[in-house]
Amino acid sequence: MSSKPIKYFFHDGCPHCIRFSKALNQSPKTVRNQIESLSVADTRTKALIASKYPQVETVPTIVLPGGETLTGNDAFSWLENQIPEGVERMPMLGNNLITKVVVGSLLAAAIWFFYIKKKNKVAGL
């Protein structure tokens, strides 16, 4: 096992874990380098959960160095808060618009505008 201070427990078949993993992969390297990803389907991870992290009952779950456990939306919010100001953010919490476009990035704003416009058109809005 790695000595990275933050543990991320996931399952490959969980749609929320897939979204969280994508958001994690798009986060800055300084954030990713602190996190060890552990599949709950792995035998070694199951043993680790039983011995050291019994609080892990659902996925996605983040366990911080002090032992604080964050699941679901709390885990997504934590990851969102790790991204420095001024860095473009991707939507993380379902339909919530958490994305912030970098100031001065007209291209990003235009892409986002057309994405929302197309999404609303498909939804009949």
Q: Is the pLDDT of residue 97 over 90?
A: no
Rg (C-alpha) for the chain, rounded Å, is: 17
B/e letters for 115-125, b = 16+ CB within 10 Å, e = fewer, are eeeeeeeeeee
pLDDT for 112 equals 54
The answer to the question of residue 76 being in a domain is yes
CATH number of the domain to which 66 belongs? 3.40.30.10
The answer to the question of residue 20 being in a domain is yes
The answer to the question of residue 89 being in a domain is yes
Alpha-carbon distance of 93 to 86, in angstroms, equals 19
The answer to the question of residue 1 being in a domain is no
pLDDT tens for each residue of 18-31: 999 998 998 888 89
Look at the chain and report how many structural domains it folds into.
1
pLDDT tens for each residue of 31-81: 999 999 999 999 999 999 999 999 999 999 999 999 999 998 999 999 988
Domain that includes residue 40, residue range: 6-123
pLDDT for 118 equals 62
Alpha-carbon distance of 5 to 3, in angstroms, equals 6
For the residues of 77-93, what is the DSSP string, one character each?
HHHHHHSPTTS-----S
pLDDT band at 105 (very low <50, low <70, confident <90, very high): very low
